[in-house]
Amino acid sequence: MSYIEEISEIVQKKLIVKNEIFDYFETPLEILCNKIYLYYKRLIENNSDLYNIEPNFFFFKNNTTVNASAYIKEKNTLTSINIGTIQKLKNTFLDNEELTDEIFGEPIQTLNQILIEKESSVMEFMYYSSIIFLINHEIGHLIQNNGELEKHINESINEAEDFNIENHIYEVDSDVFASMKLTQDIHQVWLKFDDKYKTDEFLCDLISLASSAIGIFKLFNLEAEKEIYYKEKSHPHMAVRFLIIQENIVNYISHIRKSEISEKNKDKMMINSFAIIDTLNKFHKDSFFDNFTKTVNQHSDELEEYGMYLTKEIAANKKCAYYKMKALEK
């Protein structure tokens, strides 16, 4: 099914009104949007046993704000990404290729040259890592709510919504699920490199890029709260979520490799991810944290404690996407 056919069926079924849907054909974003649409459809097709969310539809929302949503309407599931999200990610990564040489040191510049050999780049790799994570995050919400008659979940914080611990659990669950799916994709990309690059060190470099991309997207583009909080608001604080995402990615790549990645490389992944975020943070002077690493370190004990509580909850909750994914792996 083409995107045109898909959005036509969405409108025909009266799931979403036509003027809320962005038709990307013959627009400057056509190539980027079409790649995302085709990736999404392959994802659903290749993971039908895990997702079990059909009939499923995807569309770009005609909205310039940064957001994404998961819907359940009349036994249909839908995933949407605001077109403003795509534009913002493009501006942050793809439109700033020159920053690789201007603000990063030799290790990132060397990595960029290796990726260029594969007709990619550091910034493009980070862009697609953000997209893959975002898509799978919304799919995670659909898996959690399988069987519901009506549901609409936004990625951005809903200030009008009272705190509910289940919302925090399900947001973190979608983060963990999305980070696992992204890690699988990165591993497959790594396997396609020449043998000289099939080292744990190079794989860890790719993981660091992807992990930092998730943090940059959430920090720069979702206007996260600066003040650290825990049992408040509709979504957990970004610092809580990022630490959980990082730890899960590091542990899951070790699981995929079926060999323990050294503690040195695990620490390197964490440190490099924070360093990339802080480097771009300093460049974008209107960004959210003056020093994200410093902020996290100042609250490390409390952040780790709340993160551990949430991850234990998702591991035991049969509604969670993570629980269902691990069950299928057994």
Q: Is the pLDDT of residue 217 over 90?
A: no
Pair 310, 171: CB distance under 8 Å? no
Task: With cut-offs at 50, 70 and 90, classify the pLDDT of residue 62.
Answer: very high
- Non-local CB neighbours of 154 within 8 Å, separated by 6+ positions: 67, 68, 69
Q: What is the pLDDT of residue 249?
A: 92
The whole-angstrom separation of Cα 288 and Cα 293 is 12
Q: Is the pLDDT of residue 245 over 80?
A: yes
DSSP state letters, 131-181: HHHHHHHHHHHHHHTTT-SEEEEESS--TTSPP-HHHHHHHHHHHHHHHHH
Choice between 156 and 238, residue whose per-residue pLDDT is larger: 238
Residues constituting the chain: 330
pLDDT one-digit tens code per residue, 84-132: 999 999 988 999 888 888 888 888 999 999 999 999 999 999 999 999 9
Pair 86, 32: CB distance under 8 Å? yes
Nearest to 145 by CA among 51, 8, 254, 261: 51
Choice between 75 and 172, residue whose per-residue pLDDT is larger: 172
Tokens standing for 113? 């040259």
Task: With cut-offs at 50, 70 and 90, classify the pLDDT of residue 289.
Answer: low
Report the mean per-residue pLDDT for the chain. 87
Choice between 156 and 316, residue whose per-residue pLDDT is larger: 316
Q: Is the pLDDT of residue 35 over 70?
A: yes
- Cβ burial, residue 256 (10 Å; 0-12/13-18/19+): middle
Tokens standing for 301? 């004990």
Among 65-79, 206-220, 272-286, the least confident range: 272-286
Q: What is the pLDDT of residue 14?
A: 93
The whole-angstrom separation of Cα 206 and Cα 122 is 9
Q: What is the pLDDT of residue 47?
A: 81
- Non-local CB neighbours of 286 within 8 Å, separated by 6+ positions: none
The whole-angstrom separation of Cα 210 and Cα 247 is 13
Q: Is the pLDDT of residue 222 over 70?
A: no
Q: Is the pLDDT of residue 21 over 90?
A: yes
Q: Is the pLDDT of residue 294 over 90?
A: no
The whole-angstrom separation of Cα 145 and Cα 319 is 7
Task: With cut-offs at 50, 70 and 90, classify the pLDDT of residue 291.
Answer: low
With a pLDDT cut of 70, the percent of the chain lying above it is 89
Q: What is the pLDDT of residue 274?
A: 85
Distances (CA, A) of 255 to 243, 314, 326, 329: 18, 19, 12, 11
Task: With cut-offs at 50, 70 and 90, classify the pLDDT of residue 290.
Answer: low
Q: What is the pLDDT of residue 105?
A: 85
pLDDT one-digit tens code per residue, 120-155: 999 999 999 999 999 999 999 999 887 665 666 766
Q: Is the pLDDT of residue 292 over 80?
A: no
Q: Is the pLDDT of residue 160 over 60?
A: no
The 10 Å Cβ neighbour count of residue 36 is 22
pLDDT one-digit tens code per residue, 64-75: 988 899 988 888
Strand segments (E) across the chain? 56-61, 68-73, 76-82, 150-154
